[in-house]
């Protein structure tokens, strides 16, 4: 379907790309829907008539940008997190919003487990040590910490948190979680207070959605409760963690280590973290496999197609609060 002929006159923009997307997805949107990449930071001319915006998890649409797009009826997000879009404005305007749940759950959970194993066993650091010739020179690396059988707290038992928990159950870990509300159907112990969860756990894995409601949840007090023997893994959003407190705890030896796929101000990693051997920082690659990125792109295109077919979305995100 070429929506340009059905929805608007020649030269009109119906679909607006906001922020970078993969080259394949971007060119399909352009060829199939005449999508135009927005001239940053604000739309100009015909771009203001866009009916549907496609955006990446790192971009989103601010309230200001939404104000500049009065005809917008739908936002299709490439990513599960919608925290970069102003959800209050979306709700007020009655704009439909979609994300890409489920298809990236396994890769993101794999990333969390890999980070946990890496930081507790120190594999990244040990590999650097080996490469530097210390093994050949007769050295032996200090002992590390056991992952199997450890106590792991999950912050946010949604799809990704549950997938992390089931993987770590296979490791013989004890799992407890905290969540906005208890999930009685989950086979894990619910702990209402994040601080209590952190003081019980050997490691805390952050899988809670980003946004104002979760900002700074992993506070200085939570990190102190996790303690000098504790590890933090974050595959959610940097905003969920008080990053200054995290850096200070790691630099001061008040936390055993951290595995981070996300930081507060991506792609800027606090320089102090890059110098620490007990910290692994990845450049937000939780869902970055060929298979998952294809599935995410397919789901974005399915959402766009359905919107133009019947005005609904395949994977709508509930903004009702
Ligand atoms: C992507 C993500 O890197 O799904 C999310 O929320 O953070 C990641 O899967 C991102 O959305 C790509 O723009």
Mutate to test the pocket of ligand 1, among 98, 108, 287 (most ligand atoms within 8 A of CB): 287
β-strand partners of 52 = 15, 74
Q: How many domains does the chain have?
A: 2
Reported as a single tens digit per residue, the pLDDT across 167-182 is: 999 999 999 999 999 9
pTM for the model:
0.95
Q: How far is the CA of 10 from the centre of ligand 1 (A)?
A: 33
> CB-based burial of residue 318 (10 Å sphere; 0-12 exposed, 13-18 middle, 19+ buried)?
exposed
Q: What mean pLDDT is predicted for residues 248-258?
A: 98
121 and 181 assigned to the same domain: yes
174 and 245 assigned to the same domain: yes
Res. 10 pLDDT band, cuts 50 70 90: low
- Reply yes or no on whether 266 is catalytic: yes
Q: Ligand 1 pocket by C-beta < 6 Å: which residues?
A: 56-58, 78-81, 104, 284, 286-287
pLDDT at 7: 47
Q: How far is the CA of 304 from the centre of ligand 1 (A)?
A: 18
- Reply yes or no on whether 284 is catalytic: yes
Average pLDDT of the chain is 95
- Reply yes or no on whether 181 is catalytic: no
Reported as a single tens digit per residue, the pLDDT across 42-72 is: 999 999 999 999 999 889 999 999 999 999 9
CA-nearest residue for atom 8, ligand 1, is: 79
The three-state secondary structure class of 232 is strand
CA-nearest residue for atom 1, ligand 1, is: 79
Give residue 61's Cα distance to chain centre.
17
Residue 63 belongs to domain spanning: 15-103+291-310
Reported as a single tens digit per residue, the pLDDT across 31-41 is: 999 999 998 78
Q: What mean pLDDT is predicted for residues 94-107?
A: 98
With 50 as the cut, is the pLDDT of residue 4 above it? Answer: no
Q: How far is the CA of 22 from the centre of ligand 1 (A)?
A: 12
CATH number of the domain at 35, please: 3.40.50.720
93 and 165 assigned to the same domain: no
């Amino acid at each position: 379907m070429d929506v340009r002929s059905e929805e608007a006159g020649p030269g009109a923009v119906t679909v607006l790309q906001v922020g970078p997307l993969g080259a394949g997805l971007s060119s399909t949107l352009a060829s199939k829907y005449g999508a135009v990449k927005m001239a940053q930071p604000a739309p100009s001319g015909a771009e203001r008539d866009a009916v549907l915006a496609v955006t990446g998890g790192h971009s989103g649409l601010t309230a200001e940008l939404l104000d500049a797009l009065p005809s917008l009826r739908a936002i299709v997000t490439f990513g599960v997190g919608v925290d970069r879009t102003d959800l209050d404005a979306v709700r007020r305007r009655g704009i439909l919003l979609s994300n890409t749940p489920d298809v990236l759950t396994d890769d993101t959970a794999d990333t969390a487990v890999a980070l946990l194993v890496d930081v507790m066993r120190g594999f990244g650091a040990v590999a650097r040590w080996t490469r530097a010739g210390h093994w050949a020179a007769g050295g032996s690396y200090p002992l590390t910490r056991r992952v199997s059988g450890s106590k792991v707290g999950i912050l946010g038992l949604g799809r990704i948190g549950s997938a992390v928990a089931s993987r770590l159950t296979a490791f013989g870990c004890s799992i407890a979680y905290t969540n906005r509300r208890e999930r009685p159907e989950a086979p894990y112990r619910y702990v209402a207070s994040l601080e209590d969860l952190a003081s019980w756990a050997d490691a805390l894995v952050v899988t809670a959605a980003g946004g104002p409601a979760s900002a700074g949840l992993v506070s200085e007090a939570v990190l102190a409760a996790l303690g000098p023997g504790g590890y933090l893994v974050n595959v959610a959003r940097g905003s969920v963690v008080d990053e200054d407190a995290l850096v200070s705890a790691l630099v001061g030896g008040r936390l055993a280590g951290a595995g981070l796929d996300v930081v507060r101000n991506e792609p800027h990693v606090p320089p102090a973290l890059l110098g620490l051997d007990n910290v692994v920082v990845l450049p937000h690659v939780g869902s970055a496999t060929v298979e998952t990125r294809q599935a995410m792109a397919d789901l974005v295109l399915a959402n766009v197609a359905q919107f133009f077919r019947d005005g609904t979305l395949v994977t709508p995100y509930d903004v009702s609060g």
